[in-house]
Amino acid sequence: LSTEEQAVLEEIEEKNVDFLRLQFTDILGTVKNVSVPADQAEKAFTEGIYFDGSSIEGYVRIQESDMRLVPDPSTFAILPWRSRDEIDGGNSARLICDVHDTSTDEPFVGDPRGVLKDALDRAAEMGYTVNAAPEPEFFLFEEDEKGRATTETNDAGGYFDLAPKDLASDVRRDIIYGLEEMDFDIEASHHEVAEGQHEINFTYDDALSTADNVATFRAVVRAIAAEHDLHATFMPKPIPRINGSGMHTHISLFEDGENAFHDEDDEFNLSETAHSFIAGVLEHAPALAAVTNPTVNSYKRLVPGYEAPVYVAWSDRNRSALIRKPAARVPAASRIEARFPDPSCNPYLAFAALIHAGLDGIENDLECPDPVRENIYEFDEQKREEYGISTLPTNLGEAVDELEDDEVVLDALGPHIAEKFVEAKRSEFQDYLVDVSDWELDRYLEKF
């Protein structure tokens, strides 16, 4: 055992851990668990834990279904909400795992975490480490008598409102305690623009840890909201005609311990490297959307007027652009903010795709357009054309078309995941197309 693995075993002993949840995600980003008694921890580290991959979304065909979970000891954490009310006082803990193929013992090509590791390996070959920080937004809704989620909010607060209007601040405080117990470093939390909508920001980390954190974050928020009889949702646009939930993602590259995105002499304090990275993300944005905005509902958020991006442009000022350059107080903080991702994405795949797109910009020296400083929502088509501004796909079907035409983003996912992902998303969109919505019934049922 490595010293890190040894330390986990000691902590299991010390903290009276009875059960270990071994976690990984399917291609859609749903967290899967295999629970083992804590005395299996040593075996999990030395041999891995075998499971049947054929029942996991997008993993393997039935005849090649044996997979092995390889726990990453750096991800050990006690699950506070599982542990509080255990009858025998024992704790539950989790370990995030890589998935290996038992026939080759190589990392499994269908493991999203492995896909992100590949992206970080490519960055490392180019001399970079990648930092990322997300700003996940979510809604808190009341449950009905049967405990099912409604779209009734439990408060009527607005942006940065304080109690008593922000009734949910109690819940948010408990969520933050839960996150802190799981070693999150919380930077800020606030009520978002919409009623019932919240945002909690945690400190940036390397992109892999951040993707792990996003998966954990969603689980903690949902679990603790449920303790308050509330349903937390990361659905991008649960209520029409008010703001939806985004997951702005801040990214920077470091080279030899220095921020490779910073340049003192540039008018935006952004280096050539940063400009090329932006150019790469803009170039591939329509295909990226399929990964960063992967649901039918994602495209209900990406419409003009609700602080979500629609137009493929960047800006150092306004928030209607796809990429914004946030103000940075110190050189180390120079970064870009991708504003299009939403929290329904698989964070591993979304970060991997964003990173590959940016690295493609660097590798091919893509030309970065000028920033757009006006409110692009107010541009008409002619003005957008003048500025060379294209738009994001308007629905999931278009996004998948774009993905299928973009070798860089397809390569980012790898052939296995790309194929399964396209198949799953095509079928999701087809299912949506054949449905008849309430909007249609309201509009047409009595009129015709």
Q: Which of Mg ion, ligand GLN, none is residue 301 near (CB under 5 to 8 Å by kind)?
A: ligand GLN
Q: Is 199 in the site for Mg ion (CB under 5 A)?
A: yes
Q: Which of residues 15-34 bind ligand GLN (CB under 6 A)?
A: none
Q: Binding Mg ion by CB under 5 A: which of 198, 231, 248, 420?
A: 248
Q: Which two tokens stand for residue 27?
A: 């291609």
Angle between helices 112-125 and 347-363 in degrees, nearest 10:
20
Q: Which residues are catalytic?
A: 52, 135, 137, 192, 199, 248, 319, 337, 339
Nearest distance in Å: CB 233, ligand GLN: 14
Nearest distance in Å: CB 342, ligand GLN: 7
Q: Is 114 in the site for ligand GLN (CB under 6 A)?
A: no
Q: Per-residue x/- marks for ligand GLN, 284-303, CB under 6 A?
A: -----------------x--
Which of 22/350 has CB closer to Mg ion? 350
Which of 305/415 has CB closer to ligand GLN? 305
Q: Rounded to whole angstroms, how far apart are CA atoms 245 and 199?
A: 9
Q: Rounded to whole angstroms, how far apart are CA atoms 272 and 336?
A: 13
Q: Is 342 in the site for Mg ion (CB under 5 A)?
A: no
Question: Which residue stretch of 22-30, 38-46, 242-250, 344-352 sits at the interface with ligand GLN (rule: CB under 6 A)?
Answer: 242-250
- The residue whose Cβ lies closest to Mg ion is 248
Distant-in-sequence contacts of 80-85, Cβ < 8 A, 24+ apart = 80/177, 80/178, 80/181, 80/182, 81/178, 81/220, 81/223, 81/224, 81/227, 82/19, 82/223
Which of 245/269 has CB closer to ligand GLN? 245
Q: Rounded to whole angstroms, how far apart are CA atoms 417 and 414?
A: 6
What is the SS3 assignment for 243? coil
Where do we find the tokens 């506070």?
A: 80
Q: Per-residue x/- marks for Mg ion, 126-145, CB under 5 A?
A: ---------x----------
Q: Which residues on neighbouring strands pair with residue 130, listed in sequence order?
A: 253
Which of 91/243 has CB closer to Mg ion? 243
Which of 280/341 has CB closer to ligand GLN? 341
Q: What is the DSSP string of 338-377?
A: E----TTS-HHHHHHHHHHHHHHHHHTTPPPPPP--S-GG
- The residue whose Cβ lies closest to ligand GLN is 246
Q: Rounded to whole angstroms, how far apart are CA atoms 323 and 252?
A: 13
Which of 216/292 has CB closer to ligand GLN? 292
Q: Which of Mg ion, ligand GLN, none is residue 244 near (CB under 5 to 8 Å by kind)?
A: ligand GLN
Distant-in-sequence, close-in-space partners of 439: CB < 8 Å, separation ≥ 6 = none
Q: Which of Mg ion, ligand GLN, none is residue 307 near (CB under 5 to 8 Å by kind)?
A: ligand GLN
Other beta carbons less than 10 A from residue 227's beta carbon: 14
Identify the H or E element spanning 180.
Answer: helix 169-181
Q: Is 161 in the site for ligand GLN (CB under 6 A)?
A: no
Q: Rounded to whole angstroms, how far apart are CA atoms 445 and 448?
A: 6
DSSP 108: P
Nearest distance in Å: CB 322, Mg ion: 12
Question: Which residue stretch of 5-13, 59-67, 100-108, 240-248 sits at the interface with ligand GLN (rule: CB under 6 A)?
Answer: 240-248
Question: Which residue stretch of 49-57, 204-212, 239-247, 325-333 sits at the interface with ligand GLN (rule: CB under 6 A)?
Answer: 239-247
Identify the H or E element spanning 335.
Answer: none
Which of 308/349 has CB closer to ligand GLN? 308
**What is the size of the binding site for ligand GLN (CB under 6 A)?**
11
What is the SS3 assignment for 283? helix
Q: Is 244 in the site for ligand GLN (CB under 6 A)?
A: yes
Q: Which of residues 316-355 bind ligand GLN (CB under 6 A)?
A: 339
The answer to whether residues 179 and 141 touch, using CB atoms and an 8 Å cutoff, is: no
Phi, psi of 108, deg, nearest 5: -75, 130
> Which segments within 230-317 are labelled E, that is strand?
230-233, 247-255, 258-259, 311-315
Q: Binding ligand GLN by CB under 6 A: which of 11, 42, 174, 307?
A: 307
End-to-end CA distance of the chain: 72
Which of 167/193 has CB closer to ligand GLN? 193
Q: Which of Mg ion, ligand GLN, none is residue 320 near (CB under 5 to 8 Å by kind)?
A: none
Question: Which residue stretch of 112-120, 228-236, 247-255, 420-428 sits at the interface with Mg ion (rule: CB under 5 A)?
Answer: 247-255
Q: Which residues bind ligand GLN (CB under 6 A)?
A: 137, 192-193, 243-246, 301, 307-308, 339
